A and B are shown apart, each in its own frame.
Chain A
Amino acid sequence: MTSPDTDTAVPRTTDPGPTLVLPAEADGCPFDPPSAYRQAADHAPVTRTELWDGSSCWLVTGHQEVRAVLADQRFSADGRTPGFPFLTPGRRELANRTPAFIRMDDPEHARLRRMLTTEFLVKRVEDLRPALQRIVDDTLDRMVAGGGPADLVTEFALPIPSLAICLLLGVPYEDHEHFQRQSSILLDITAAEEQVAGAQRELRSYLAALTADKRRAPTDDILSRLAVREDLTTDEAASTALLLLVAGHETTANMTALSTLALLRNPAQAARLRSGPAEAKVAVEELLRYLTIVQLGLPRAATEDLELGGTLIRKGDGLLCMLSTANRDESVFPGGSDLDLDRDARRHLAFGFGVHQCLGQPLARAELQIALRTLFTRLPDLRLAVDEDQLSYRTTMVVHGVHSLPVAW
Chain B
Amino acid sequence: MLVSVDQDRCCSAGQCVLTAPTVFDQSTEDGYVQLLQERPEPALAADVRLAAALCPGRAITVSESA
The 8 Å CB contact of A359, one of B13, B53, B54, B57, is B13
* 8 cross-chain pairs, A with B, having the tightest CB-CB distances, nearest first: A117-B31, A117-B12, A357-B56, A122-B17, A122-B14, A118-B31, A357-B13, A121-B26
- The SS class assigned to the B binding surface is loop
- A interface residues with partner B (beta carbon < 8 Å): 70-71, 110, 113-114, 117-118, 120-124, 346-347, 351-355, 357-359, 361-362, 365
A355 touches B26 (CB 8 A): no
Question: In chain B between 16 and 55, which residues have their CB closer than 8 angstroms to a CB of chain A?
Answer: 17-19, 21, 25-26, 28-32, 50, 53-54
B54 touches A118 (CB 8 A): no
What distance in Å separates the Cβ of B31 from its nearest Cβ neighbour in chain A?
Answer: 3
In the assembled complex, the CB of B22 is this many whole angstroms from the nearest CB of chain A, namely 13
B54 and A114 form a contact (CB under 8 A): no
Chain A residues with Cβ under 8 A from B31's Cβ?
A: 114, 117-118, 121
From A115, which residue of chain B is reached at the shortest CB distance? B31
A361 touches B11 (CB 8 A): no
Cα–Cα distance between A355 and B17 once the two chains are bound (Å): 17
Tell me which residues across on chain A come within 8 A of B53, comparing CB atoms: 347
Number of chain B residues close to chain A: CB under 8 A: 21
Residue in B closest to A121 when the chains form the complex, CB atoms: B26
Bound complex: CA of A124 vs CA of B12, how far in Å? 12
CB–CB B12/A359 < 8 A: yes
A123 and B26 form a contact (CB under 8 A): yes
**Chain A's nearest CB lies how many Å from the CB of B27?**
8
* Complexed CA–CA distance, A12 and B13 (Å): 35
Bound together, the chains give a CA A189 to CA B17 distance in angstroms of 35
Residues in B neighbouring A365, C-beta threshold 8 A? 18
Instruction: Give every chain A residue within 8 A of B57 (Cβ-Cβ).
Output: 354-355
CA distance in complex: A242, B53 (Å): 31
Binding site for A on B (CB under 8 A): 11-14, 17-19, 21, 25-26, 28-32, 50, 53-54, 56-58
Q: A117-B31, A123-B26, A351-B13 are in contact. Are A362 and B56 (CB under 8 A)?
A: no
Please, which residue of chain A has its CB at the minimum distance from the CB of B26? A121
When C-beta atoms are compared, the residue in chain A nearest to B21 turns out to be: A122
In the bound complex, residues from chain A placing their C-beta under 8 Å from that of B18 are: 122, 362, 365
A355, B56: Cβ atoms under 8 Å? yes
Bound complex: CA A352 to CA B50 (Å): 16
> Closest CB of chain A to B17's CB: distance in Å?
4
**Which among A71, A110, A118 is the interface contact of B58 at CB below 8 angstroms?**
A71
What's the Cα separation between A124 and B13 when bound, in Å? 13
Residues of A with C-beta under 8 A to B32: 117
A122 surroundings in chain B (CB, below 8 A): 14, 17-18, 21, 26
Chain B residues, Cβ within 8 Å of A351: 13
Q: List 25 A-B contacts (CB under 8 A).
A: A71-B58, A110-B11, A113-B11, A117-B12, A117-B31, A118-B12, A118-B28, A118-B30, A118-B31, A121-B12, A121-B14, A122-B14, A122-B21, A122-B26, A123-B25, A123-B28, A346-B50, A347-B53, A347-B54, A355-B11, A355-B56, A361-B13, A362-B14, A362-B18, A365-B18
> B19 touching A346 by the CB < 8 A rule?
yes
Alpha-carbon separation in the docked complex, A124 to B54 (Å)? 21
**CA gap between A351 and B12 in the complex, in Å:** 13
Kindly provide the distance from the CB of B13 to the nearest chain A CB, expressed in whole angstroms. Answer: 5
| Residue numbers in A under 8 Å from B29 (CB-CB) | 118
Q: Cα distance A269–B21 when bound, in Å?
A: 28
Question: What chain B residues lie within 8 Å of A124 (beta carbons)?
Answer: 28
A355 to B12, CA, bound (A): 9
Q: Which residues of B contact A120 (CB under 8 A)?
A: 12, 14
A351 to B18 Cα, complex, angstroms: 14
Contacts of A117 in B (CB 8 A): 11-12, 30-32
State A393–B58 Cα separation when bound (angstroms).
36
Q: Which residues of A contact B28 (CB under 8 A)?
A: 118, 121, 123-124
A164 to B12, CA, bound (A): 20
For B58, list chain A residues within 8 Å (CB).
Answer: 71
Q: Select from chain B the residue with minimum beta-carbon distance to A109.
A: B11
Contacts of B17 in A (CB 8 A): 122-123
Bound form: Cα–Cα A365–B30 in Å: 22
In the bound assembly, the distance between CA atoms of A78 and B11 in angstroms comes to 18
Q: How far, in angstroms, from A114 to B57 measured CA to CA in the complex?
A: 13
CB distance from A280 to the nearest CB of B (A): 14
A123 to B31 CA separation, bound complex (whole angstroms): 11
